[in-house]
Amino acid sequence: MSDPVRRLARLVPRTEARTASADLAAQVADLAAAAGRLDVALAEVESPIGSLLVAVTPRGLVRVAFEDEDRDLVLDDLARRVSPRILAAAAATDEVRRQLDQYFEGGRRRFDVRVDRRLMTAFTRQVLRRTARVGFGEVATYGQIAAAIGRPRAARAVGAALGANPVPIVVPCHRVIGSSGSLIGYAGGLDRKTTLLRLEGSLPG
């Protein structure tokens, strides 16, 4: 524990110290954003499928991570591929969090936040651009997505691209299923995929 933290702990009751620490962190994040030094803002969103980590840059939403993803690996990847200037900054993520809350409450059928595509390869961008057009309550097969992007034999590659989707839910890769109607894979796990499709009315409850 650093000397400033020790001094704060002696002066302020523990619960107040936590509040003071959170307030200070928010102030630092606000100052960093105002100075143009906040490249990646982080916040958590509670949802029916667990806590989600959202990461937002000035270009838009860059990452949505499920709670069982290794946070250190997620942050390392963001630092390496986007920017090391990362801070918890709720205010910068307000719009994304608001729309996710609305979606899980059944009040939103599509997202209209900007997406930062820096974590996507060119092929993944192509696949996800088409996947984003699969509407609420609808499903498409991997083969249909492959055909729609002019690569009818690339169903497996489409599956791999969807598995690498850095912004699940917002770009709805959960709406892509096997040709037989089976759910097959999902980076967040089949339980989450089932929950999301039932929420949207694509599966019987």
pLDDT in tens, 82-136: 999 999 999 999 999 999 999 999 999 999 999 999 999 999 999 999 999 999 9
- How confident is the model over 68-73, as a mean pLDDT? 96
Give the whole-number percent of the chain exceeding pLDDT 70.
81
Give the confidence band of 33 by pLDDT, cuts at 50, 70, 90. Answer: low
Is the pTM higher than 0.85? The answer reads: no
| pLDDT for the residue numbered 36 | 54
pLDDT in tens, 160-186: 999 999 999 999 999 999 998 999 889
3-state helix, strand, coil in the chain (%, to 5): 45, 15, 40
Provide the CA 104 distance to its chain's centre, in angstroms.
14
Cα–Cα dist 28/145, whole Å: 44
Given the residues 92, 173, 176, 177, the one annotated as active site: 173
Residue 1 has pLDDT above 70, yes or no: no
Residue 18 has pLDDT above 50, yes or no: no
Domains in the chain (CATH in brackets) are 33-104 (3.30.160), 122-199 (1.10.10.10)
173 in catalytic set: yes
Cα–Cα dist 19/82, whole Å: 30
CA dist list (Å): 201 to 37, 136, 196 = 42, 8, 9
